[in-house]
Amino acid sequence: MRNRIRKISTLALAGMMALGMSMTAMAADMNGENGVIGEFTGQPAVQESSVTFYKEITAFNPAGSDVYAPAVTYRYSIEPAAGGHEITDYAGVKATVKAGLAGAAITGSVAWTNEEKLDTSAEGTANRKPIEISFENVSWNGAGVYRYEITETAPSYAASGLTEGDGDHIRYLDVYVKDAADAGYEIYGYVCFANDVDIDAEAAAKSEGFVNADSLAADQYHTYDLEVTKIVVNDKAMNDHDFPFTVAFTPADGLNTANIKLDTAVNDDAALGNGYAGSLSTDTPRLQNAGSVKYIGIPCGTKVEVNETVDAAGATYQVTTTQADVNVDETITGTAEGVDSGKAVVNAQRISGLETKTVDFTNTLLLISPTGIALRFAPYILLLGAGLVILVLGRIRKCRAEEN
């Protein structure tokens, strides 16, 4: 009898322990570490008193070239948000959000300089930088979920060449606090959201900051490349001649060229050539036959005008430009030194399926026709002249004979 009671007691205790463990796992279902909701398998782990979230620029380039970033600075502030909204986790456990407490801080700012490179692709590639939020100076007054509002102060998008993302420069951060094992309270999770609303874990617009996430869009940087190639036809002697070009950039309205830097590749070798500063300033490259210069990372909306000057004295070239967006004066003949004999205008806008722009300048030496017309027909002219002389002399003789 006693053995039976002991067995029943043991089974009951085991059942209660299993029930308690399952209830703990269900109640601690939300893990917001670094903005990602997951599931606990036991008691939630204690988090640090600071959390990292991110600022993203999504960079586009049709060739996937590494491009210089625009010079841009973002600043952030954090304030307590009003409480009162309801949170529902994956297991259906509900809690009412508390207003954040004073003491949270964001130090510093997030900046890109135009000496840094961005990873790109035709579809857009994320480039992120971290933002640290500290809660070390917050005195929690109880367990629960505390909400904070994070505000981003963005730069002038026109001046930097950036395209604004979702246009909402506010995020909300929920901080999960529980009783500490010894005394006081400790953080066990962070979750970042786009809106100050009731939160359902299954449908919330969660984010890791000001990045692409769910229905949210990060700021974007759209660029294209332009390659100019020189070709000489019918004049091997000029293959090594340096033909002068002028490449002028007209930026989009409001763009501050000091924020922009281009990379160049001369004859497919990556280098800033000809002393080119790269800040959308006018470039003056000199290209030989089969030579090329590529401008990498031009902000979309920037117009580029390329002019070639044929400075080869004593030769007549037919100059054509091909594969440009707009070809102005497609066939022009230049005969004198200093004549602008070829022009191409490219103005690439932000569009899907944008490709690298290429412009070929072809100089074809026009073969001169033989100018020996007098020499070629000289024998016939001499014969004709001799015939006329004979005819005249015959007439004179005839007239004298009739007179006699």
pLDDT digits (tens, 9 = 90+) for 184-237: 999 988 888 888 888 887 667 788 899 998 778 999 999 999 999 999 888 888
Least confident of 14-28, 101-115, 152-166, 304-318: 14-28
pLDDT at 255: 94
Task: Pick the closest to residue 44 from 191, 188, 190 (CA basis).
Answer: 188
Most confident listed range (215-229, 310-324, 384-398): 215-229
pLDDT at 203: 67
**How many CA atoms lie within 13 Å of 246's alpha carbon, on the beta-carbon side?**
12
CB-based contact 345:226 (threshold 8 Å): no
Read off the pLDDT of each residue in 167-174 and give the average, rounded to a whole number.
90
Does residue 119 register a pLDDT over 90? yes
Query: Is 223-365 in the same CATH topology as 2-217?
Result: yes
Does residue 278 register a pLDDT over 70? yes
**CA 85/CA 127 separation, integer angstroms:** 33
Q: What is the CA radius of gyration of the chain?
A: 39
pLDDT digits (tens, 9 = 90+) for 344-355: 888 787 777 788
Helix (H) or strand (E) holding 318: strand 317-322
pLDDT at 13: 38
How much is the mean pLDDT over the chain?
Answer: 78
**CA 315/CA 307 separation, integer angstroms:** 19
Residue 401 pLDDT class (50, 70, 90 cuts): low
pLDDT at 19: 36
**CA 13/CA 18 separation, integer angstroms:** 9
Start-to-end CA span in the chain (Å): 183
Q: Which two tokens stand for residue 138?
A: 């917050």
pLDDT at 385: 65
- b (16+ CB within 10 A) / e for 25-34: eeebbbbbbb
Residue 8 pLDDT class (50, 70, 90 cuts): very low
Beta-carbon contacts of 244 under 8 Å, excluding residues fewer than 6 positions away, are: 284, 286, 308, 309, 311
**CA 256/CA 225 separation, integer angstroms:** 19
What is the DSSP track for 349-389?
A: -S-TT---EEEEEEEEEPPPPP--HHHHTHHHHHHHHHHHH
Least confident of 180-184, 196-200, 258-262, 380-384: 380-384
- CA–chain centroid gap for 392, Å, is 88
pLDDT at 67: 95
- Name the more confident of 194 and 119: 119
Enumerate the domain spans of the chain: 2-217, 223-365, 377-403
Helix (H, G, I), strand (E, B) or coil at 322: strand
- Name the more confident of 131 and 168: 131
pLDDT at 326: 44
pLDDT digits (tens, 9 = 90+) for 9-45: 444 434 433 333 333 222 222 234 333 343 444 566 7
Class of domain 2-217: mainly beta
Q: Could you name the CATH architecture of 223-365? A: Sandwich (2.60)
**CA 46/CA 174 separation, integer angstroms:** 15
Residue appearing with tokens 């759209």: 222
pLDDT digits (tens, 9 = 90+) for 64-117: 999 999 999 999 999 999 989 998 877 778 889 999 999 999 988 999 999 999
pLDDT at 379: 56
Read off the pLDDT of each residue in 360-372 and give the average, rounded to a whole number.
73
Does residue 57 register a pLDDT over 90? yes
Q: How many helices (H) and strands (E) does the chain have?
A: 4, 28
